[in-house]
Chain A
C-alpha cells in the first residue's frame, strides 16, 4: 500500500481558490436574497448579479495566470491538498473556457428565461447555475478521484435542479427525472470503477495511480480492466457518447433552451476535462522513453474502447439526426456526434512525433462551445417566436430576420465542419493527428460522418432560405441573446481565419509533462 503524503491547506493557498469561493459565496448570498425579498420585487437583477459573479470568477482566473504563469516553461505547478487541487496551465485555460461558456449561456438566458412561462421562479434558475459552474471548475483543477467525484456530483445535482425548474412543463419534469436517474447511475458506475482503481493502486491521487498501475496491471489485470472500463463507461454517459446517449434528446428537449445549452456545452466539457486527466494518467502515461502509450496491454485496450466509443458516437449521432425534425433533439444528437469527435484526440494516444492531443482537443472544444451556444441562442429566439422547436419554425427566417439567418449559416457551416470556420480547423487538426497515429479507419469515419451531417445541418439552412414563412412579421431578437449569437458567430469565424491565435496560446500554456502527468515524490 502506498501512503499519500498529507498536506494541509495553508492561508496563502486560499488565494488560489478565489474563483470557486467567489462563486459559492455568490450562490449563497443570491439564494438567500431571492428567498427573503418579497414577491413584488422583480428578479431580473439576480441574473445580472449572477453574471457579475461569473465575470468576477473569470477575472480571478485571469489573475491566477499572473500568480502561476503557465507560459513560463519553468513555472512550478501549484498543488493544494496533495494534488486534490491543482493550479496548472491546463486547469487555468479550461476554467476560462468553462467560464466563458457559462457567461455566454447566462447572457443568452436572461431574456429567454424571463419570458418562459413554464418557469415560475426565475431567480433560482440563475443562482443554481453558480454551484454547477463551481463543480465544473473543480473538475478542471483536480487530480484526485475523490475531489473529482465531488465536482461531478456538484455539477450534476445542480443541473438536475436547473432542468426541473421549468415546473409547469411536463416535458421538463420528465427530462429532469430521466436525467436524475441516468446521472445517478452513471455516477455510481464511475464511483464503482474508482473504488477498484483505489483498490489495486492504493491511492486516489492520479499521479500515484499512474505510478502504481503498471505493477497493478501485472498483478490484478482483470481488476484494472474493470476499474478503467467502468470509469470510461460512466464518463461516456456524462458526455453522451454512444451507446450511453439515449437520454440526451429527451433531456435536451425538456429543458429550457439556456439550460440545454448549459448541458450541451458546460456539463459535457467539464466531464471531458476530467476524463482527459484520467485517461492521460492511466491509459497514456509518461514512460522514460516514450515510444507509444504506456500500460500495455490494459492502456491499449482502454484506448481501443475509446476509439470504438468515438466511432459509435459519430456514426449513431449523425445517422439518428438525419430523421430528426425537432431542432433541439437534432442539436442533442449533433452533440453526441461532436462528443465522438472530441473523443478522438483522447483515444489515439501519443506517438513518437504526434503529441498534440490536448491542443486538438482544446481547439475543437472551444470551436464547439461557440458554434453550439450560438446555435442555441438563435434557437431560443426562433423557438420563442414559433412557440415550438420544430424544424418548420425556421421556415423563411431569412425574410423575417436576415442577419440572424446569415449568422446561423456561419454556425451551421461550422458545425458541419466546412471552411472557413472554427469547426473546420478543429476537425482538421484532429484528423491530422489521427492520421499521424495511423488510425486511418477513425479518420475515415470522422470525414464520412461529417459529410452525412451536411444533410441535417443544411436542412435548417434550407428552411431558413428556401421555404416561405407563415408570417412575414419581423422577428424580434432580444439584445442580450442577439449579442451572444453574434459573439459566437464572430468567434467561430475568427477561429477559422486565425486558428493559430488560440492554438499557439494553448501550446505554450499547456504541456503534458508539467500539467497533466503528475510528478510524485518516489
Chain B
C-alpha cells in the first residue's frame, strides 16, 4: 500500500521545504513567517500519525527507503581482492522503537512552533533553525545507517547552538557554548564507536572470481548481523591476524563509548550538568523540543545501538546501568526538591525521569524496554507541556523564581489548572501517561533486580513532594498584587496545551495504543539474550 513513494523522505525533509518557502518571505512579516512554520510542522505530524496508524510490525519493509548514497572505491593495492569500497547508505526505516518517537517529535514540534509566539526578534532566522532542528531530530529516529544517523545527530547540535545562543535569556552564549562542547564530546565518542564498528563489523566480503569485493558499510542491520553471526569476518576464527576481528576488550570499549555518548545526551547521572544550563537559558519553545525530544535521542540511541548491538554486554552491565538509573532517579528528585527556580526544578525532574528510562533499559526484558520507550514518549509530552506553560508564565510574570510567584490560580485559572494537571502527570498519577511508563519500567526491573527497584521507587514518592511543592506554590498561596491583572492563556497558547494534555490522558487511560505498536520490537534483543543464556 505504501507503494514506492518515499513517504519517510517526505516526512523527514518536509520541514526543509517549508524552510525554503520561509526564505522567500520578508523578514518583517511576523504573522506570515509564523503560520508558514506552523503549517510546515503539521505535515510531518500528519504523516507520522498516518504511519503510526498503518504500520504493521509483521511487515517491517513496507516503508523502508534504501539507496546507496556514497560509494567510494578505495585503493586496494595491498590486498588480494578485486575491489574495496566504503558504502554509506541513505537508509530510512520505521519500527516499533522509532515510530512512537517520530510521532512524539513531530507532535512536540507543532506545539513548539505554536508556542514560538514568545519569540521577540529575528523571526525568520528562528524558524529556519527551528525547521532544520526538526529535520535533524526526525532523521535521527529514522536513519538506519550509522553515518546518516550521525549527520542528523550533528544537525540538531548545530541548530540548537544557534537557537540557544541567539534567542536564549541572559547567559545564552555561555549556555550555547556549554551545550556545544559537552554534546560535541558526546558525538565525538559516538563517532569513534561508529568508526570502530564500520572498520570491523561493517566489513563484508562478497566472493568474486578475482578474490572478492571488500565492502565497508555503515548499515545498521549489516553491522548487527556481523557482530553476532558466526561466519562473519568479524567473528571468523583463525590463527592469523584478522584485521576485522573485534576482541572482547574492543567490544567493551565500543559499548562503553556508546554508553557515554548517549548517556551525555540522556543525560545519565554524572553527565547531566550541561542540560541544567540549557533548561534555564534556552527560549521556552526550544526547551520544549530539547526536553521533549532531544533528550530522548539519548534513550533511543542507548536502546538502538547500545543494547541493540551488544545485548550480551548490556546484560553484563545491567546492574551498573540500573544503579546509575537509580542514582539518577534519587539524585534528580532530591535536587529538584531544593531548587528555588521552577525551570531548574523541571530540569532536575528530567534527570530523575530519565533515570527511570535507564532502569527500564537495564531490565533487558520486554516489559522493561517497553516501559523505557513509554517513559521517553510520556516524559516528552509532559515536559513539553510543562515548559509550554512555563514559557507563558514567564512572558506574563517575567520570572520563574518560585519565591516571587504565587496565587496565580485566581488571575489565570486555565493555565494554573493545566500546570497542576501536568504536574500530577509528571509525578505519575494513575490515569495519566507518566504512570504507565514508570510502572512498566519498574515492573520490568523488578523481575531482575528487586532491591534496586525498591530503592529507586522511593524517587517516585519524592517526585510527588517536589512537584506539588513547586506547583502549589505557583498556583495557590497568597495572591500578589502585581499579578492580579494578568490575562489567562490566549487561544494560540491554549490549543497546544490542550492537545498535549489530550495525548497525555490518552496514553494514560489507553496504554495499548503505544504498547501494541511496540509489540515485538524487542524480540531480536530478547532472542539474542535467551540464546546466550541457553548456550
Contacts and interface: CB of A to CB of B under 8 A. Distances in A.
Interface of A: 290, 350-359, 398, 413, 418-420, 428-429, 431-432, 435-436, 443-444, 447-448, 450-452, 454-455, 458, 461-462, 465-466, 498-500, 503-504, 507-508, 510-513
A472 B469 CA distance: 49
Contacts of B199: 432, 435-436
Main secondary structure of the interface of A (DSSP, over half): helix
23 contacts: A351-B78, A352-B79, A352-B243, A353-B78, A354-B78, A355-B76, A418-B157, A419-B154, A420-B151, A428-B191, A432-B86, A432-B216, A443-B192, A444-B192, A447-B188, A447-B192, A451-B185, A458-B161, A498-B70, A499-B70, A499-B72, A500-B70, A513-B77
A465 B162 contact: yes
B154 A352 contact: no
B70 A350 contact: no
Contact of B172 (A435, A444, A448, A466): A466
B330 to A, nearest CB: 31
A517 B154 CA distance: 40
B191 A431 contact: yes
Contact of B72 (A436, A454, A462, A504): A504
Contact of B166 (A436, A444, A465): A465
B86 A447 contact: no
Contact of B195 (A355, A356, A431, A465): A431
A466 B166 contact: yes
A417 B424 CA distance: 44
A398 B157 CA distance: 20
B453 to A, nearest CB: 37
Interface in B161-185: 161-162, 165-166, 172-173, 176-177, 180-181, 184-185
A350 B78 contact: yes
B11 interface: no
Q: Which 5 A-B residue pairings sit nearest by Cβ, starting from the closest?
A: A451-B184, A419-B151, A355-B78, A447-B188, A290-B78
Nearest to A291: B78
B77 A419 contact: no
B175 to A, nearest CB: 11
A282 B196 CA distance: 29
Interface of B: 70-79, 84, 86, 125, 147, 150-151, 154-155, 157-158, 161-162, 165-166, 172-173, 176-177, 180-181, 184-185, 187-189, 191-192, 195-196, 198-199, 214, 216, 243-244
A458 B185 CA distance: 15
A454 B191 contact: no
Contacts of A447: 188-189, 191-192
Nearest to A289: B78
Given A419-B154, A432-B198, A451 B181 contact: yes
A503 B75 CA distance: 10
B75 A512 contact: yes
B79 A419 contact: no
Contacts of B173: 462, 466
Given A432-B198, A451-B187, 13 more contacts: A353-B78, A355-B75, A355-B76, A356-B84, A358-B75, A413-B158, A420-B151, A428-B147, A431-B192, A451-B184, A455-B177, A466-B165, A507-B74
Contacts of A357: 75
Nearest to B79: A353
Contact of B181 (A351, A431, A455, A500): A455
A443 B191 CA distance: 10
A499 B87 CA distance: 11
A290 B75 CA distance: 14
A354 B200 CA distance: 12
Nearest to B185: A451
A436 B72 CA distance: 16
B70 A355 contact: no
Contact of A458 (B75, B79, B147, B177): B177
Contacts of B70: 498-500
A356 B180 contact: no
B299 to A, nearest CB: 23
A503 B72 contact: yes
A465 B158 CA distance: 13
Contact of A435 (B147, B189, B196): B196
A432 B195 contact: yes
Nearest to B250: A440
A510 B196 CA distance: 27
A142 B73 CA distance: 27
A452 B180 CA distance: 10
A88 to B, nearest CB: 15
A498 B78 CA distance: 26
Contacts of A354: 78, 243
A271 B526 CA distance: 56
B215 to A, nearest CB: 12
A350 B72 CA distance: 18
A40 B157 CA distance: 56
Contacts of A431: 191-192, 195
A352 B78 CA distance: 6
B77 A512 contact: yes
A95 to B, nearest CB: 20
A361 to B, nearest CB: 11
A512 B75 CA distance: 9
Contacts of A353: 78-79, 84, 214, 243-244
B484 to A, nearest CB: 37
Contacts of A435: 195-196, 199
Contacts of A419: 150-151, 154-155
B204 to A, nearest CB: 13
A447 B155 CA distance: 17
A504 B74 CA distance: 8
A432 B70 CA distance: 15
A451 B84 CA distance: 30
Contacts of B151: 419-420
A507 B73 contact: yes
A485 B70 CA distance: 26
Contacts of B214: 353
Contacts of A359: 74-75
Contacts of A418: 154, 157-158
A451 B77 CA distance: 34
A466 B189 CA distance: 29
A498 B165 CA distance: 31
A98 B214 CA distance: 33
A510 B76 CA distance: 12
A355 to B, nearest CB: 4
Contacts of A436: 199, 243
A356 B192 CA distance: 19
A455 B174 CA distance: 11
A432 B78 CA distance: 17
Contacts of A513: 77
A356 B74 contact: yes
A359 B154 CA distance: 25
A98 to B, nearest CB: 22
In this complex, the member of B155, B191, B244 whose beta carbon has the largest number of chain A beta carbons within 10 angstroms is: B191
B267 to A, nearest CB: 17
B188 A351 contact: no
Contacts of A510: 75
In this complex, the member of A353, A458, A465 whose beta carbon has the largest number of chain B beta carbons within 10 angstroms is: A353
Nearest to A498: B70
Contacts of A444: 192
A511 B176 CA distance: 45
Contact of A355 (B77, B86, B150, B162): B77
Nearest to B198: A432
Contacts of A443: 192, 195
Contacts of B147: 428
A285 to B, nearest CB: 12
A362 to B, nearest CB: 11
B207 to A, nearest CB: 16
A17 to B, nearest CB: 29
A354 B214 CA distance: 11
A458 B78 contact: no
Contact of A462 (B74, B165, B243): B165
